[in-house]
Chains A and B, each alone.
Chain A
Amino acid sequence: MECQKYVLDDGGIHEIICSDKMQITVSAENHCSVYLICKEKMDCTMTLVVEKDAHLNLLSWNESEALNMNCEIILKSNAFLKASYGEMSEGSVSMKNTIHLMGEGSQADIRTASIVQHQKHFEISCIHHASHTIGLMENYAVIYEDGDYKMNDTGKIEKGAYGSESHQTSRVLTLSEKQKSEVIPLLLIDENDVQASHATSIGQIDENQLYYLQTRGLSKKAALGLITVGYLMPIASALDDEKLSSELSQKIEKKVGLA
């Protein structure tokens, strides 16, 4: 199978359709955005390299009925990656995502927003190989009936990666009795001079909030939708593109039953 190779050496937003095997490289000092869309059922292997002093703002949007993704990300010195994963497909997802902070001063901000109606399992690891590296992971998920959500979130700081930071936050909202969700945050730290934290919450919708919204005339469905949208909406504006933001906002509203 042939590997699709992309070398990005100019700014702006690049739209890339997900293929089975792909490699994306952001050239040194280049600042750009990528809108990665997955439309079909597939097994995808991706390597992403952000070279020295380069910035990448990545939005991955999954509409496939079944996605199995294996992604290796390498950040060179002072590289910056903001990666947002919109996982709102009705299908299943299995994702393994490993971020290597290879270069000094590199930073990765990883954010996932998921609507879970079937099985969606994530394994995201951020490995700090160099000093003064930052890895931030934020996960938001809304679990519907028959949803099966699993998030294994690992921050690993190797010996010698002093002055580094690893932070993880996961917020899970469960909307049904018939669901399963599991969040396992892990911090593996081999260096003293570091900062690290993790926070997790899994909970149902607050009945008092629901009542409050209903007293203003919103049906239960609309009230639920509004609260749910609050969880997921920030992902829609991940890329600085108004047209895309409003298109994705509308898709999210439709998915939670608002539109």
Chain B
Amino acid sequence: MAQLEIRNLHVEVEGKEILKGLNLDVDPNEVHALMGPNGNGKSTLLAAIMGNPKFTVTQGSITFEGKNVLEMSVDERSRAGLFLGMQYPQEVAGVTNSDFMRAAINARLDKPMPLFKFIKEMESTIKELQMKPDLAHRFLNEGFSGGEKKRNEIVQMKLLKPTLAMLDEIDSGLDVDALKIVAEAIVNMQKERSMGLIVVSHYERFYQLIQPTHAHVLVDGKIVVSGDASLVKRIDSEGYDWIEKEYGVKVEEISDEKPKTAVFSLGSCAASTKKGA
């Protein structure tokens, strides 16, 4: 049995079926590249594994280290060793990065980590990702540039030490130098901890740095082709057209994969009154 085992997974978002019977196995030390045109279900798969409440699993199973993931809450999945580095990390005003990370680390320990040890670990991780030292005291992602948000996801991954990490377009928004720093941090951690990885990216350059052991193409809610790193190369040079011909599936880009973000509403400038939530 694989560490992460996904069988016949069907997932709906707002009543629309996005994943239509997906199978995937991931074991420690494996790096899986997940490719496919936008809107075909890559982000949906990662969100469903993590337990995003907006995504409903209607059929199939997900097990992690033999445990039924679908019965676990989001935070239980995290504490079980799953991590999702997000495409659009949330901004949370009023909560500092260090308070957040300390709470998250302590949530998985029997005894809280000594403050001094935590500070040292956080500082060295911030340094490794070459972020500004004041990161710890800034509010979580608030006012961060796109690239800073992505680096901060990796800071969090390093501190939380997951067994299996999923990275959703973690390379977008990063310039060439930042891409190298982030990729290096990911690879180091993957090797050190024999971590399993599922990576979604559109860029061959990033895959070159990450060096996937497996590659999959997701089309219309199913994995249509699986292979090794050579698949990434072929798609980079030839696109997805050949898959259409060889596998007889229609490959379409479906727009609007970006989740709608709810905005904390500011009432009008005059009197506000509210009953109920």
- A215 close to B50 (CB less than 8 A): yes
Q: Complex Cα distance A170/B100, Å?
A: 25
Which of A174, A206, A213, A231 contacts B100 (CB under 8 A)?
Answer: A213
- B276 close to A177 (CB less than 8 A): yes
A204 to B, closest residue via Cβ: B277
**Known contacts A177-B277, A217-B104, A226-B100: does B271 contact A184 (CB below 8 Å)?**
yes
Taking the complex as formed, is B107 at the interface, i.e. its CB lies under 8 A from any CB of chain A? yes
Q: Complex Cα distance A179/B79, Å?
A: 33
Q: Complex Cα distance A258/B270, Å?
A: 34
- Interface residues in A152-204 by Cβ distance below 8 A to B read 170, 172, 174-185, 198-204
Chain B interface extent, by class? 35 or more
Q: Min CB distance, A66 to chain B, in Å? A: 24
Q: How many residues of A contact B (CB 8 A)?
A: 44
The residues of A that contact B182 with a CB separation of less than 8 Å are none
Taking the complex as formed, is A4 at the interface, i.e. its CB lies under 8 A from any CB of chain B? no
Total CB contacts across the A-B interface at under 8 A: 132
- B269 close to A217 (CB less than 8 A): no
Q: Complex Cα distance A219/B262, Å?
A: 21
Q: Min CB distance, A208 to chain B, in Å? A: 5
B90 to A, closest residue via Cβ: A212
**Known contacts A174-B274, A179-B277, A202-B272: does B104 contact A211 (CB below 8 Å)?**
no
Q: Min CB distance, B197 to chain A, in Å? A: 17
**Known contacts A211-B53, A219-B107: does B271 contact A183 (CB below 8 Å)?**
yes
- B276 close to A227 (CB less than 8 A): no
- A176 close to B75 (CB less than 8 A): no
- B264 close to A203 (CB less than 8 A): yes
Taking the complex as formed, is B225 at the interface, i.e. its CB lies under 8 A from any CB of chain A? no
The residues of B that contact A250 with a CB separation of less than 8 Å are none
Q: Min CB distance, B241 to chain A, in Å? A: 36
The residues of B that contact A216 with a CB separation of less than 8 Å are 75, 78, 100-101, 104, 156, 160
Write the A215-239 contact mask toward B (1 if CB under 8 angstroms, else 0): 1111110110011011101000000
Q: Complex Cα distance A172/B272, Å?
A: 10
- B94 close to A227 (CB less than 8 A): yes
The residues of A that contact B53 with a CB separation of less than 8 Å are 207, 211
- Can you list 10 contacts pairing A with B, beta carbon distance less than 8 Å? A170-B272, A172-B274, A177-B277, A179-B277, A201-B265, A206-B90, A212-B89, A215-B75, A230-B139, A231-B94
Which residues of B approach A to under 8 Å, CB–CB? 50-53, 73-75, 77-79, 83-84, 86, 89-95, 99-101, 103-104, 107-108, 139, 156, 160, 261-262, 264-277
